[in-house]
């Protein structure tokens, strides 16, 4: 059974990333299943730190991008939206080139919070980082009050 409240069209999701940090880092959503969303990011000098390996912040941006997008498709977007509260990242392995894939799957989807697991792997499926993202679920009606 699918976790998605709204149907996800990867073309639409990628289009929504235009003009954002996700586009700047060339993050592309590439796969969806009944309970996960996956994005790809190339590892180029644009995401390196001075030692020539992927910057930890780029890993966090990728994790929050895919987790936040997934979270927002798990709520009725006409009445609610999700924003990041906390992200925790454990860097397991460095990477200098190629690409990484980030897959977001939910630990918890509640009325006021969601918690997501995002695993980032290289093109050989070796773990680069493990991430936990906590999202706040907010009411659109509270904005106008």
Cα dihedral 90, 94, 97, 99 in deg (nearest 10)? -30
Catalytic option among 6, 23, 28, 64: 64
Looking up residue 53, the CATH number of its domain turns out to be 3.10.129.10
Residue 114 lies in a domain: yes
Q: What is the pLDDT of residues 28-79, one digit of tens each?
A: 999 999 999 999 999 999 999 999 999 999 999 999 999 999 999 999 999 9
32 to 10, 43, 50, 55, 73: CA distances (angstroms): 8, 22, 34, 26, 11
Residue 78 lies in a domain: yes
Residue 5 lies in a domain: no
Annotated catalytic residue 123: no
The pTM score is: 0.94
- pLDDT exceeds 90 at position 142: no
Domain span including residue 48:
10-144
114 to 15, 42, 123: CA distances (angstroms): 24, 28, 28
DSSP 116: E
């Amino acid at each position: 059974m699918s976790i998605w409240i709204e149907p996800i069209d990867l073309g639409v999701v990628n289009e929504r990333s235009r003009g954002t940090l996700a586009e700047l880092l060339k993050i592309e959503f590439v796969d969806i299943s009944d309970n996960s969303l996956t994005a790809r990011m190339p590892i180029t000098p644009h995401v390196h730190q001075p030692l020539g390996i992927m910057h930890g912040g780029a890993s966090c941006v990728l994790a929050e991008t895919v987790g936040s997008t997934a979270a927002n498709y798990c709520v009725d977007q006409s009445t609610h939206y999700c924003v990041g509260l906390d992200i925790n990242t454990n860097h397991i392995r460095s990477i200098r080139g190629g690409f990484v894939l980030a897959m977001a799957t939910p630990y918890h989807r509640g009325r006021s919070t969601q918690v997501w697991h995002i695993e980032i792997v290289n093109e050989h499926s070796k773990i680069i980082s493990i991430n936990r993202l906590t999202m706040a679920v907010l009411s659109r009606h509270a904005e106008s009050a």
